[in-house]
């Protein structure tokens, strides 16, 4: 994993986080997540420490949980998301008998689409015994991963709290001239929008045998499932990671998804995607099944998109956009577009590895942004685990912060940080197979 070794970061704390991750060969999307709630993370650690805190949008939102009821909200009557026709409805008229009909649902427009909570995960630990006790990677898994059992409980609690999955593309429109404008988001009264994303869904080589699923595939029924090999070497097919678990949950609770939204899958390219060693730049001449794997991976991506999932670039090489030169970003972007885009299609979503943004709180300007915009990116996501939501509208972009859900953030919650309590009760979620230390660092 030496190719992903990050450039020396700017603060001692962040140095420790990144070096630990690099030493473990882990995809540390959560750099900075261990800080206290009074110190917004991404926006102060990824830039020179000259940002005036009084201009910090994050700081102004520290204690402001999103509210579904404001004076600017409008309440309207609309049809709910498509559902199976009810017998009573279909009997009322011929028109209704041939279409799906749902009872009207009172909705209200979310007041500010830049203030939509966004939580993210990595691939789930299926076997905590193997993952957490792995001599090389165990501490990193404790830091950066949640377990299958934790995620199942989190889903239940998110739903019980009234969250509903939305897509970034339901928050803003990218106009033909490149401008990004708010899009009205009407949710059932009492529901709260939530974006989820999953980083590094490659089932990296270093994870092999450590108690994770090994890939995603399209099952005979058309649904996307995981292959998982247990400690005895027995492989089973089922829902062993975020994507199929969310799909199962939405089937049981259709109102957990707003108009079909699922989540955003953030992909690198250096180990291929979705469990397939599918990147020609890395595996040509090394993977004898390269061509077939590309075809298979594209089938999985197509099935995920049909279900409502979306894909983001997470850079090809898990690079640090703060520290990388423009030339480095250009070279990496070209590799992503060569290796990954043919499989998942073009995307306007960019999820920064390490949460390392190209700019601090001041709005985007300059050559890095101009280049990324020219490559089609209009939605940008960093990491800030200190506030329930943070966002910024630019003329040509929407930038939002994401909250890491992992051992680091759950440990911080147990020690008193308030943010995760907006979404679930950490104590009741924690996997009993986690050690008392919760995290690994
Ligand atoms: Zn990552």
pLDDT at position 25 over 90? no
- What's the CA-to-centroid distance between 318 and ligand 1, angstroms? 6
Backbone region of residue 204 per phi and psi (left: phi > 0; alpha: psi in -120 to 50; beta: other values): beta
Phi, psi of 430 (to 5 degrees): -50, 135
pLDDT at 151: 98
Residue that is written with structure tokens 């209200």 in the block: 108
pLDDT at position 81 over 80? no
pLDDT at 80: 38
- What's the CA-to-centroid distance between 28 and ligand 1, angstroms? 5
pLDDT at position 404 over 70? yes
- What's the CA-to-centroid distance between 405 and ligand 1, angstroms? 13
- How much is the mean pLDDT over the chain? 83
- Looking at the DSSP bridge assignments, the partners of residue 206 are none
- What's the CA-to-centroid distance between 201 and ligand 1, angstroms? 9
Ion ligand 1 — residues with CB < 5 Å = 27, 29, 199-200, 353
pLDDT at 440: 96
Question: How does 10-25 read in b/e, with b if 16+ C-beta sit within 10 Å?
Answer: beebbeebbebbbebb
In a domain, 369, yes or no: yes
Cα 417 from Cα 385, distance rounded (Å): 10
pLDDT at 171: 98
- What's the CA-to-centroid distance between 177 and ligand 1, angstroms? 31
- What's the CA-to-centroid distance between 267 and ligand 1, angstroms? 8
Q: What average pLDDT does the segment 25-43 reach?
A: 37
Residue that is written with structure tokens 């030493």 in the block: 23
Answer whether 213's CB lies under 8 Å from 201's CB: no
In a domain, 3, yes or no: no
Strands (E), 360-412: 379-383, 391-394, 397-404
Q: Which residue has the higher pLDDT, 123 or 54?
A: 123
- What's the CA-to-centroid distance between 122 and ligand 1, angstroms? 8
In a domain, 407, yes or no: yes
Q: Quote the tokens at residue 424.
A: 């679930």
In a domain, 93, yes or no: no
pLDDT at position 51 over 70? no
Within 13 Å and on the Cβ side, how many CA atoms surround 299?
17
pLDDT at 99: 53
Cα 379 from Cα 357, distance rounded (Å): 12
CATH no. for residue 221? 3.20.20.370
- What's the CA-to-centroid distance between 200 and ligand 1, angstroms? 5
Q: What average pLDDT does the segment 67-84 reach?
A: 37
Span 247-270, pLDDT tens digits: 999 999 999 999 999 999 999 999
Task: pLDDT band for 225, please (50, 70, 90 cuts).
Answer: very high
Q: What average pLDDT does the segment 231-237 reach?
A: 98
pLDDT at position 301 over 60? yes
Q: Is the pTM of the predicted complex or chain greater than 0.75?
A: yes
Q: How many domains does the chain have?
A: 1
pLDDT at 104: 80
In a domain, 47, yes or no: yes
In a domain, 79, yes or no: no
In a domain, 73, yes or no: no
Largest Cα–Cα distance of the chain, in whole Å?
69
Q: Quote the tokens at residue 319.
A: 């690079």
Among candidate residues 225, 307, 229, the one with its CA nearest the CA of residue 263: 307
Span 86-142, pLDDT tens digits: 334 333 444 444 456 667 889 999 999 999 999 999 999 999 999 999 999 999 999
Residue that is written with structure tokens 């794997």 in the block: 293
Span 342-397, pLDDT tens digits: 999 999 999 999 999 999 999 999 999 999 999 999 999 999 999 999 999 999 99
Q: What average pLDDT does the segment 169-179 reach?
A: 98
In a domain, 296, yes or no: yes
List the domain range (segments joined by +) for residue 355.
12-62+118-429
Q: Quote the tokens at residue 20.
A: 């630990």
- What's the CA-to-centroid distance between 353 and ligand 1, angstroms? 5
Q: Quote the tokens at residue 147.
A: 């377990």
């Amino acid at each position: 994993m030496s190719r992903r070794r990050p450039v020396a970061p700017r603060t001692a704390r962040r140095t420790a986080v990144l070096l630990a991750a690099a030493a473990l060969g882990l995809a540390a999307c959560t750099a900075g997540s261990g800080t206290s709630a009074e110190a917004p993370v991404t926006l102060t650690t990824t830039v020179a420490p000259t940002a005036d805190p009084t201009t910090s949008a994050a700081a102004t939102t520290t204690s402001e949980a999103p509210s579904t009821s404001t004076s600017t909200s409008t309440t309207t009557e609309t049809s709910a998301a498509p559902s199976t026709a009810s017998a009573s409805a279909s009997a009322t008229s011929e028109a209704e008998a041939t279409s799906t009909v749902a009872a009207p649902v009172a909705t209200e427009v979310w007041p500010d689409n830049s203030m939509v909570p966004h939580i993210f995960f990595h691939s789930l630990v299926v076997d905590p015994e193997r993952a957490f006790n792995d001599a090389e990677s165990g501490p990193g898994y404790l830091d950066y991963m949640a377990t299958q059992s934790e995620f199942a409980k989190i889903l239940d609690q998110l739903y019980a709290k009234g969250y509903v999955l939305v897509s970034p593309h339901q928050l803003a429109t990218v106009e033909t001239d490149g401008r990004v404008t708010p899009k009205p988001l009407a949710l059932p009264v009492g529901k709260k929008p939530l974006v989820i994303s999953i980083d590094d869904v490659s089932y990296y080589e270093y994870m092999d045998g450590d108690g994770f699923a090994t890939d995603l595939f399209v099952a005979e029924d058309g649904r996307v499932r995981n292959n998982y090999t247990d400690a005895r070497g027995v492989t089973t097919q089922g829902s062993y990671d975020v994507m199929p678990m969310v799909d199962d949950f939405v089937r049981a609770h259709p109102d957990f998804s707003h108009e079909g939204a699922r989540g955003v899958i953030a992909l690198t390219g250096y180990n291929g995607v979705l469990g397939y060693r599918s990147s020609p730049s890395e595996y040509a001449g090394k993977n004898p099944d390269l061509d077939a794997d590309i075809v298979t991976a594209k089938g999985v991506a197509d099935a995920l998109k049909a279900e409502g999932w979306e894909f983001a670039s997470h850079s090809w090489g898990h690079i640090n956009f703060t520290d990388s030169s423009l030339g480095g970003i250009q070279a990496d972007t070209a590799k992503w577009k060569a290796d990954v885009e043919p499989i998942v299609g073009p995307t306007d979503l960019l999820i920064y590895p390490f949460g390392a943004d190209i700019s601090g709180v001041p709005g985007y300007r300059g050559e890095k942004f101009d280049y990324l915009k020219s490559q089609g990116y209009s939605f940008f996501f960093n990491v800030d685990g200190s506030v329930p939501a943070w966002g910024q509208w630019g003329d040509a972009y929407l930038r939002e912060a994401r909250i890491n859900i992992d051992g680091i953030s759950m440990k911080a919650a147990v020690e008193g940080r308030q943010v995760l309590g907006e979404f679930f009760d950490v104590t009741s979620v924690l996997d009993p197979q986690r050690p008392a230390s919760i995290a690994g660092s």
